[in-house]
Chain A
Amino acid sequence: MSVQSTVRPEWTVVIDPVLQKELEQHIFVTNWPKLLEMIDTVYNWGRRSSLWPLGFGLACCAIEMICSACSRFDISRFGAEVFRGSPRQADVMIVSGTVTKTMMPMIARLYDQMPEPKYVISMGACASGGGPFKEGYNVVSGIDKYLPVDVYVPGCPPTPQALLNGLIALQKKIDGESLADAVWYKPEVERDIPVPVLGPDLIDVRFLEITAEKTAQGVLDAIQADMPKPLIIPAPQPEKAEEPAAAQASAAAAPMSAADKLRAKMGGAKPAEAPAAEAPKPAAKPAAPAKKIKKAEARPSLVWLGNDKLKALSDRLNGEFGAGTSTIIEAGLLIPADRLLAVGKFLRDDRSTRYDYLASLQSVHYEDCIEVNYHLDSTVHPGTLIELRVRTDEAEGKGEVPSLTDIWPGAEFQEREVFDMMGVRFKGHPNLTRILMWEGYAYYPLRKDFLEPYYEGPTKVFDSRVEEGHGHHFRSEELNPYGTNLKIPRGYEDWDKLSSNDDVKGKNLMPGGVQISELETDQFVVSMGPQHPSTHGVFRMNLRVDGETVVGLKPVMGYMHRNHEKIGERNTYLMNFPFTDRLDYLTSMGNNFGYALAVEQLMGDDAKVPERAEYIRVIMAELTRVASHMWAIGFFLNDIGAFFTPALYAIEERELILDLFEWASGSRMMCNYFRFGGVAFDLPKGWKERCHKFVYDRLDGKIDELDKLLTGNEILLDRCKGIGALTAEQAIAWSTAGPVLRASGVNYDIRRAAPYSIYDRFDFNVIVGKNGDLFDRYYVRLQEMRESVKILKQAVRDLPEGPILPGKKSYQIKVPAGEAYSRVENPKGELGYYVVSDGSATAYRYHVRSPSFINLTSLETMCVGATVADVVGILGSLDIVLGEVDR
């Protein structure tokens, strides 16, 4: 090592070489580099062993990040358990999960606000490169597009061990650093990341000019113009005329033949000709049907009113409001928009119908219209589900439908979602703004004619990913002229109006307030979230507070919107299973269940689930419920201030359940275990015994322990009793579901109200609360775990031998055309999947009725008048998971 230049003068004095050697042997510091080395050692040692992470989690990975703190993994051994809520006190930012465009400005700002030296761990496939959600229109293709990443942790999600490994890797990296080249001591190095702007899309201000230039050229539009487009089918018509079904089927089928070739490709068969770039605009082109599309039985859901009663109801409506009020289409009632309000009011209030519960609301983009449809059920006569349809203008931004928020307030967020995704306006809606995307986003993404920036074809797997097609793989970035996930309409010109100081998502949702004390005091608006220790992810609430009292609250969401539905329309049916895992990432088995039921409803007898598989499904679903409720209770306690201890105890039990999942399915969190007509694998040998032991010998005791330690706690009672109460009427009106609904005293559990699978065979009680306050929600969950254990005991005992799939394992799923809505009682509430099939390999429309999202509709009502501390508790009692809220 040549150190001559840095040797201090007094050390350059020529001394006896023997003495010099002696000195070097026995004295540590003989020259500058050595001194520096020593300082570096201390400097690095200090920083490496005290890495305090910024406490924020984005998506699924955040759950594993939290688990890394639990007793099994214990990140505290490395001195890194001190998750700081404020970036000012954090050393490392663990980007845990999908980075969305909506969230990116916040992440950049938080990163900038962290003091030097700071590090970034990119946790999981999504944070590293977009992961499974990469082609989503609201997903950033990796955090490293913006932030300098120090360590990438692979996995989807990485297990806690993997994160610990990442932490150790970061420690090693820090060990190799030296003060001499530490960038944070160099004033000339720019470490700040400019905050990107939410304009027509997420715009990186560093490349503003080139972006503007390319937009003006319209390069992306030109490329996408040549791509095969997804088909747009006409809306189903009433079966009045002779053979109209056939005519309609032919209309639907006509383009199918061309599309089939295209879609066949995903199966591996390569069609000779080029992909149907000339794919006809599926407009009325009454070509002879190539083959008849198989049609599924028309029914809105498995348990519903029934054809005869629906006919009677329809006739009654026609009698009441004049002919033409109600037309039966595919077992749903088509109502003209102008009579919708009257019909809705009638259906809700009439004694014989009492459709007081709006289960789900969604929209479908057809060739000739946009259909908004409503699934209604009655809590008085459960299981009498019907579907209403309203149709409106198809043209972008033209559609308008009356808002039903006055009849079913629970429609509020769902209507906003339809507006956001389809551009349908709802007349009379109190606050019709975009809910998941931001105001100013250029497109209505769920319209069939919207192609994502990374669009390559109507069905995955895209050509670019298949090696044979091109000779090598393409990265999506290479196919987009911007080089990133970006799409801006050609005419966009307001470039100079873009400002990163513009809070486009939140500024329209500033709560107004009322003066509550006679003395005039100032109220202020404070934003809780998106990065906040107790918003359960990247949820945000704009609070207006007067002192400690909340006088106004507006939830702001969409920070985790990762385009589940749009991606679901490109996925083949089977391919979509792993995506459902990532909806509510605490309950992947339950999500699988719902999705499987929806498609099985379309497939009918082709997917008849064998006995053994039914039992396995129920066992998995109930284990999921226990795991999810454990988590919910633990973190609810955390929210009301019990510092992590109950949460970590709850996680311990959850870990044991995840072990069972991992053993059966191969993955602890994202199980991807269900298949149409059964489950993916049979239970491994010994699984049943272990589950038996767990269920019979351990769970009851642990639930009792939680009950004993928590339920009687004075402070807990004080914090929970009477807070955030919803009356039964309110709970129904707001379309709340699951434990939230039942805590308010409504006996409505999908497992009993609209039984699916084999739940009718088990003996269990539906737990119902009384007051609908925080305590009841907590206690209902606790009791539900006991009931789940009851079911589990029966199911494990009775688990029969036999096949687990109706036929052979199949990768090509034929799904007949039609629509289906499946409902399962997920731990969070009613999880519904609405699937429209056109007979092709992918779903034509795929919508998720997510309980977390809809339960949030009532948040504002519950919180106004409460205190800041209550807001956190109320949110915790709703038990939301952001992956499902924003999808």
Chain B
Amino acid sequence: MVYNYIFIGLLILVAAAFAAGPLVAVALLSPKKRSATKSETYECGVLTVGDSWVKFRMQYYLYAILFVLFDVETVFLYPWAVSYGGLGFFALIEMIIFVVMLLVGLAYAWARGALRWL
């Protein structure tokens, strides 16, 4: 079993080599002519005004938090789904209760406008 994860490690190494190769090659081969204008931020041909790194809209973070909640809950469902065949009727009831809790959470977020995009 653990052996297999070594395979994955190997794959990561190979993939990293494949990804790093072009970067190195370009660094070696390509022309380098830097200039002040070239190094400016592109914005449709005009100079950019103000900073791009700003305090951004709340919505994105809300979604991120919701994502973490739901993703973890989804992960809980996986082992249940795998072993569902061997479990009894009670497992279904339990799952439904669990899912209902999930849905209540979603409904709450929905009702509170967390899913609304301003």
Using a CB–CB cutoff of 8 Å, the interface residues on chain A facing chain B are: 86-88, 106-110, 112-113, 115-117, 182, 184-185, 187, 191-193, 195, 501, 503, 506, 510, 516-517, 519-532, 540, 546-549
Q: Quote the shortest CB–CB distance from B23 to chain A (angstroms).
A: 15
Please name all residues of chain B whose beta carbon is closer than 8 Å to the beta carbon of A547 when the two chains form the complex: 56-57, 59-60, 118
CA–CA, A108 and B43, complex, Å? 13
From the candidates A522, A529, A548, name the one contacting B44 in the complex (CB within 8 A): A529
Taking a contact as CB atoms under 8 Å apart, the answer to whether A540 and B46 are in contact is yes
The yes or no answer to B35 lying at the interface (CB within 8 A) is yes
Instruction: Take A547-B57, A547-B118 as given contacts and tell me if A185 and B44 are in contact as well, using a CB distance cutoff of 8 Å.
Output: no
Q: Quote the shortest CB–CB distance from B67 to chain A (angstroms).
A: 17
CA–CA, A389 and B55, complex, Å? 52
What are 24 A-B interface contacts by the 8 Å CB criterion?
A: A106-B45, A109-B45, A112-B35, A113-B40, A117-B31, A187-B33, A191-B35, A501-B47, A503-B47, A510-B49, A517-B57, A519-B58, A521-B56, A521-B58, A523-B54, A524-B54, A525-B50, A527-B49, A540-B46, A547-B57, A547-B59, A548-B57, A548-B117, A549-B118
Instruction: Take A109-B40, A112-B38 as given contacts and tell me if A524 and B57 are in contact as well, using a CB distance cutoff of 8 Å.
Output: no
Taking a contact as CB atoms under 8 Å apart, the answer to whether A531 and B45 are in contact is yes
Q: Which of B17-70 contact A (CB under 8 A)?
A: 31-33, 35-38, 40, 42-52, 54-60
Give the residue name and chain of the B residue nearest to A522 (CB): B54
Taking a contact as CB atoms under 8 Å apart, the answer to whether B31 and A184 are in contact is yes
From the candidates A113, A185, A510, name the one contacting B42 in the complex (CB within 8 A): A113
Taking a contact as CB atoms under 8 Å apart, the answer to whether A527 and B35 are in contact is no
Taking a contact as CB atoms under 8 Å apart, the answer to whether B35 and A521 are in contact is no
Taking a contact as CB atoms under 8 Å apart, the answer to whether B37 and A109 are in contact is yes
Please name all residues of chain B whose beta carbon is closer than 8 Å to the beta carbon of A526 when the two chains form the complex: 43, 48
Instruction: Take A109-B37, A195-B37, A527-B44 as given contacts and tell me if A522 and B49 are in contact as well, using a CB distance cutoff of 8 Å.
Output: no
Interface centre among B43, B46, B48, B57 (most CB of A within 10 A): B46
Q: Quote the shortest CB–CB distance from B39 to chain A (angstroms).
A: 9
Taking a contact as CB atoms under 8 Å apart, the answer to whether B37 and A527 are in contact is no
Chain B contact patch, size range: 20 to 34
Please name all residues of chain A whose beta carbon is closer than 8 Å to the beta carbon of B117 when the two chains form the complex: 548
Q: Quote the shortest CB–CB distance from A811 to chain B (angstroms).
A: 43
CA–CA, A106 and B37, complex, Å? 11
Q: Quote the shortest CB–CB distance from B54 to chain A (angstroms).
A: 4
Taking a contact as CB atoms under 8 Å apart, the answer to whether A517 and B118 are in contact is yes
Q: Quote the shortest CB–CB distance from B47 to chain A (angstroms).
A: 6
The 3 closest A-B pairs by CB, nearest first: A547-B57, A106-B45, A522-B54
CA–CA, A531 and B57, complex, Å? 27
CA–CA, A837 and B45, complex, Å? 41
Please name all residues of chain A whose beta carbon is closer than 8 Å to the beta carbon of B50 when the two chains form the complex: 524-525
Taking a contact as CB atoms under 8 Å apart, the answer to whether A88 and B42 are in contact is yes
Give the residue name and chain of the B residue nearest to A86 (CB): B42
Given contacts A530-B44, A540-B44, 18 further A-B contacts (CB under 8 A): A86-B42, A109-B37, A109-B45, A112-B37, A116-B31, A116-B33, A117-B31, A193-B37, A501-B47, A503-B46, A517-B58, A521-B55, A522-B56, A524-B52, A527-B49, A531-B44, A547-B59, A547-B118
Q: Quote the shortest CB–CB distance from B48 to chain A (angstroms).
A: 7
Please name all residues of chain B whose beta carbon is closer than 8 Å to the beta carbon of A185 when the two chains form the complex: 31
Please name all residues of chain A whose beta carbon is closer than 8 Å to the beta carbon of B60 when the two chains form the complex: 547
Please name all residues of chain B whose beta carbon is closer than 8 Å to the beta carbon of A86 when the two chains form the complex: 42
From the candidates B37, B49, B57, B118, name the one contacting A113 in the complex (CB within 8 A): B37
From the candidates B33, B52, B118, name the one contacting A516 in the complex (CB within 8 A): B118
Taking a contact as CB atoms under 8 Å apart, the answer to whether B48 and A527 are in contact is yes
Please name all residues of chain A whose beta carbon is closer than 8 Å to the beta carbon of B44 when the two chains form the complex: 106, 527-532, 540
Taking a contact as CB atoms under 8 Å apart, the answer to whether B43 and A191 are in contact is no
Interface centre among A86, A524, A530 (most CB of B within 10 A): A524
Please name all residues of chain B whose beta carbon is closer than 8 Å to the beta carbon of A510 when the two chains form the complex: 49
Give the residue name and chain of the A residue nearest to B117 (CB): A548
CA–CA, A109 and B43, complex, Å? 10
Q: Quote the shortest CB–CB distance from A553 to chain B (angstroms).
A: 14
Please name all residues of chain A whose beta carbon is closer than 8 Å to the beta carbon of B46 when the two chains form the complex: 106, 109, 503, 506, 527, 530, 540
Give the residue name and chain of the B residue nearest to A182 (CB): B31
Please name all residues of chain B whose beta carbon is closer than 8 Å to the beta carbon of A530 when the two chains form the complex: 44-46
Taking a contact as CB atoms under 8 Å apart, the answer to whether B49 and A87 are in contact is no
Taking a contact as CB atoms under 8 Å apart, the answer to whether B42 and A87 are in contact is yes
Q: Quote the shortest CB–CB distance from B77 to chain A (angstroms).
A: 30
From the candidates B31, B45, B55, B59, name the one contacting A110 in the complex (CB within 8 A): B45
Please name all residues of chain B whose beta carbon is closer than 8 Å to the beta carbon of A520 when the two chains form the complex: 55
Please name all residues of chain B whose beta carbon is closer than 8 Å to the beta carbon of A108 when the two chains form the complex: 37
Q: Quote the shortest CB–CB distance from B116 to chain A (angstroms).
A: 11
Please name all residues of chain B whose beta carbon is closer than 8 Å to the beta carbon of A529 when the two chains form the complex: 44
CA–CA, A548 and B59, complex, Å? 10
From the candidates A117, A192, A519, A524, name the one contacting B38 in the complex (CB within 8 A): A192
CA–CA, A526 and B48, complex, Å? 7
